[in-house]
Structure formats: structure tokens, C-alpha cells
Amino acid sequence: MGFGAVNIRAMLTKQFLDLDPNNVASALASDGVIAIEGALQPDAIAAIQNDVDQHRAGININGVTGVQFHKQFYLCHMLAVSRTFTQLVTHPKVLEITERVVGAQYRLKALRYYETFGLHHMQWHTDNKTDRGFAQIPGIIFIAYISDVDDGEFQYVRGSHAWSGEKAYNDYSDAFVDEKLSKDILSCKGRAGTMVIYDTYGIHRAKPVPRADFVRKSLFWQVDREIEHAEPILINPEFLGEIDRKTQRYLGFGLPTGYKIFPQSDVDTIPTSAVNIPDAMHLAKLAIKAKVKQLIGRP
């Protein structure tokens, strides 16, 4: 696991490393979002993509693989398969920015590599929610583009983080946004390596793309102030080295999870186009074996 890891000092560009966390906090306070083009080094992008390619999918494999979820692909256990991603989310600069914006107490709430395909429609929404609905939990999200994004980009309603909490709901219709908020929509196009940081209270989406051959590749990790709940994560401890108590808390060591991992996938969430012939044949063999065992009464 962890193919093609890069030196931690070479992972982030000088432009990102020189960011003043106070300036990031100021941008998030005013607009709710900031985009930093060229934050990730090309070697880091290549290493992460290679790690994903090594763990995309498998049948009856005793390991970590991704899942298909309708018009998206997810690999959620990146801390178990990618040393480079693990070093990224625990990088001192990332934690410095997080602490300046969120406060001294924070926890990694969710993480994933994901691909969004054409014809996918994401509703405008906010991310300050739990599996029980709306929640008043301050937090931020980092998104990093692993592919060039000139369409299907992340979009954010500027300033919506300042008032969305008053509404106590998370989802907004296209019609409402088009009519009431269109002048405030920020579109974050960018080259691979661009990083977007945004307030979880803000209204946002991935812009729909009406082309079936489209794909956008991204990283996502969410951090917020509530430390008693998070999605369960798998970690390869080899990727961490020595970590202090603050990083242990950030990663959830010894803390409850309480949330189900997103997305909740099964065979029904696999689009027909994602099943190749060898996989389909293997699934058919498994189905035949199960039927034969049932007919002859074997367990």
C-alpha cells in the first residue's frame, strides 16, 4: 500500500506554504471560500492518483477498494492506501490553517477521493449536517483537484455561510438559487493541484455537466469542532510515524465515531456502464455457485 509517496516537504508548493492563515481566515469570514491554484505539487498529484489506481475495485479481495455510487466513484479509506494523502491531511500547514479558522479543538470528520461523472446532478446544499439532519457545528472543508477542472467545477454562494444557519435546513433547489442567489455564485475552475477551502455553512455544489464522457477527480476532507462524532476511518499506521496527542485527537484515536461512512453503497448503486465484462462474468459465476449449493443443500 502507499505507492509512489513523495517527500513531505515537496508535497505542497511554496505558494501554499507561504499562505498566511490569517488571510485564509479573513477570506472565509467574508466570502466563505478561498481557492488556491497550484497548491499541490505535480509529484504529489501523480502519487495520489497512482495509489487510487492500485485500489479502485475488486471482487472478493481482502483489502481496501473503492465503490461506485451512481454517477460517482469513491475511495474513502485513503488513510489506509495512500501515504501521500495521509501526509497531506496531517501536514503542519493544513493543521495550522484549520486551527486558525476552526479553533484549538477539531477533528477530521470525513475524507475521500472521489470522481464525479457527466450527467450527475448535485443539489445545492450545505455540509453542516449529521446523519440526523441540520447541525450547528462550525467547520471547514478542503477540496483538492486531481484533474484539470474547466467544467463541472465546485461552485459556492458567496457569503451564504453567514445566514444559512438561520434557515435550519441543508438543501436548496436550483430554482431558488437561480432566482435569489445567482449573482453571488463563485465558480472555482482550476488546474490539477488547485485547493479550495470553504466554510461548511455555505451553499455549494459541483456544477452539472451534460456530457456523459466527463470526469472530475478530487480529494475531500472535512474538519469541524465537534470531536465526539465522525465517520469511521481505516489508517495504515506506517504512514503516520510519530504523532502527538493533538494529531491523535484530530484522527479520532480513542474517540467514538457514531456516523455511517458516506456513501452507503451496494450492488444497486453500481451503474451498468461501470461493470466491465470480466467483472460481470465473475459475478455470474458466483451467482451460479450459490444457486448450485442451494439446490444440493450444501451450506
Vertex 56 angle, CA 52 and 57, to 5°: 160
| pLDDT range class, residue 8, cuts 50, 70, 90 | low
Nearby residues of 239 by Cβ (< 8 Å), 6 or more positions away = 2, 5, 79, 82, 83, 86, 87
Residue 280 falls inside a structural domain? no
Per the model's pLDDT, the better-predicted residue between 62 and 220 turns out to be 220
Whole-number average pLDDT of the chain: 88
Residue 200 falls inside a structural domain? yes
In which domain, by residue range, is 47 found?
Answer: 8-269
Distance between CA atoms of residues 74 and 248, nearest Å: 25
8, 26, 296 from 21: Cα distances, Å: 19, 9, 67
Lowest mean pLDDT among 16-20, 64-68, 81-85: 64-68
Residue 292 falls inside a structural domain? no
Mean pLDDT of the region 84-102: 97
Confidence at residue 298, expressed as pLDDT on a 0 to 100 scale = 62
Confidence at residue 248, expressed as pLDDT on a 0 to 100 scale = 96
14, 78, 214, 273, 278 from 71: Cα distances, Å: 35, 20, 11, 10, 21
The one-character DSSP state at 140 is E
Residue 45 falls inside a structural domain? yes
Mean pLDDT of the region 40-51: 96
Domain containing 130 — which CATH number?
2.60.120.620
Per the model's pLDDT, the better-predicted residue between 81 and 67 turns out to be 81
Residue 291 falls inside a structural domain? no
3-state secondary structure 195-262: EEEEECCCCEEECCCCCCCCEEEEEEEEEECCCCCECCCCCCHHHCCCCCHHHHHHHCCCCCCECCCC
Domain total for the chain? 1
Residue 92 falls inside a structural domain? yes
Confidence at residue 285, expressed as pLDDT on a 0 to 100 scale = 60
Residue 283 falls inside a structural domain? no
Residue 274 falls inside a structural domain? no
Asked whether the bond before 42 is cis by omega within 30 degrees of 0, the reply is no
Mean pLDDT of the region 155-171: 87
Mean pLDDT of the region 59-84: 91
Confidence at residue 289, expressed as pLDDT on a 0 to 100 scale = 65
Hey, is 1 helix, strand or coil? Answer: coil
Report the percentage of the chain scoring pLDDT > 70. Answer: 86
The torsion of the CA quartet 118, 222, 18, 102, rounded to 10 degrees, works out to 140
Vertex 280 angle, CA 275 and 284, to 5°: 150
Lowest mean pLDDT among 61-75, 106-120, 272-286: 272-286
